Structure 1
Amino acid sequence: MLNTKVISIASVSGGGKTTITNALKNRLRNAEALFFDNYDFKGAPEDLVRWVEEGPDYNQWNLDPLLADMKSLQEQEYPPKYILMDYPFSYLNDQLKNVIDLSFYIETPLDIAMARRLIRDYSDKVSFEIHNDLNHYLKYGRNAYLEMENTIKQNADSIVDGSLPVSEIVEAVLRELKNNET
């Protein structure tokens, strides 16, 4: 039976989690990917700003659906060698911390992450919607980004420069994976 490695890719919103996860899936043989944003989690806070302000409890998120999909992949007749997770919390949720083999934090400068998020989320919006989002970020949302920088990054096994081109980030992750397999 194949020993599946679970790899977590964390970053702030707009930091490159999904892009890097997809690029790694394309480069690795026998890999599957799971994406945090594809799930609705029971217990997830409705107001992320308040959640961060009150001192975030990463165990508040019930990650059973993600774990069920991971288990399903691992129990296949021919399980993947790698399960790549676009997952923001690294080792900070008790449900997942013991199943992750390696956690990467993509350290993306906040201005780059914000620019990417605006391009991604507002391609068909009008300027006042962008203006409102930027105001919200400056007044409240930036603290959530800083929380990740100060907490999640410290809990990752490896930190990769998110300002690098995608191909270089992927190469850095692949090198680290290879070093961990020897």
Structure 2
Amino acid sequence: MTNKRSPSFVVAISGTSGSGKTSLVQKVTSLLEDAVSFYFDDYASVSKFPSNFSEWIREGADPNQWETPQLLKDLQMLRHGEAISLPDDKGTIGTARFIVMEEPFGRERAGMSELVDFVVCIDLPLEVALARRLLRDAEWCLREKNSEYLAIYLKEYLTGYLSGATREMYLEVNARVLKNCDLILGGVKPLDELADEVVAAIKTKLGAA
């Protein structure tokens, strides 16, 4: 039975790969009282994404081609006071007053605008985001694989990036979110400072500041 309490307040944090979305979601969740975190990537196995980014951009970069029906269903349940089980036995998420989620498209995808109350966009130069992404991935490759795997990965990723598809995708998505978000953050600032900005803005939005 659905809990009849007021819907949870949903905060979506957006930004390019390497912008620090996950770290900010975790930090903001820890600062807010009665909050849970919710991640876009946890639904990759049950979602449908464009297979060719260049073609997707040429055809107008429709965010609705990133189809995440299970994510939308689970977010709606969480928002209305029902616990959910994540795909692939990744665990469960209980109810909370605040849901802090990672959502690359902000409120731009169909079905998301009515579920998200506050959108934060991390604005970061692409070269900084790329450097952060590669450092993170290099650490994982060396820990879980080997240096040969890392060399192959870096060549493939950077080749794709320089071809324009990946870079243009990030630019297109970020431009859309920036036009329709509630808070823009300078991503080069320290994590603690960014998290404090988000919490303060949420409190202002709720009339608690």
TM-score, normalised on structure 2?
A: 0.80
Structure-2 separation of matches of 1:47 and 1:29 = 41
Deviation readout 1:58-100 (Å, 9 max, x if unpaired): 1223322112222332323883111111000012112111111
Structure-1 separation of matches of 2:190 and 2:151 = 28
SS in 1 for 2:112: helix
Question: Which residues in structure 2 correspond to 1:1-182 (within 5 Å)?
Answer: 1-40=5-44, 41-73=46-78, 74-76=80-82, 79-123=95-139, 124=141, 125-140=149-164, 141-182=166-207
Q: Alignment length, in residue pairs?
A: 182
Q: What is the one-letter code of the residue matched to 2:51?
A: E
TM-score, normalised on structure 1?
A: 0.91
Give unmatched runs, 5+ long, in structure 1: none
How large is the RMSD of aligned CA atoms in angstroms?
Answer: 1.9
User: Which structure has the greater CA radius of gyration?
Assistant: 2
Deviation at 1:44, TM superposition (A): 2.0
Deviation readout 1:120-147 (Å, 9 max, x if unpaired): 2222243343133222212122111211
Give unmatched runs, 5+ long, in structure 2: 84-93, 142-148
Q: What is the one-letter code of the residue matched to 1:167?
A: D
Runs of at least 4 residues off by over 4 Å: none
Q: Percent identity?
A: 30
**Preserved contact between residue 63 and residue 95 of structure 1 (Cα < 8 Å):** no
Q: What is the one-letter code of the residue matched to 2:162?
A: L
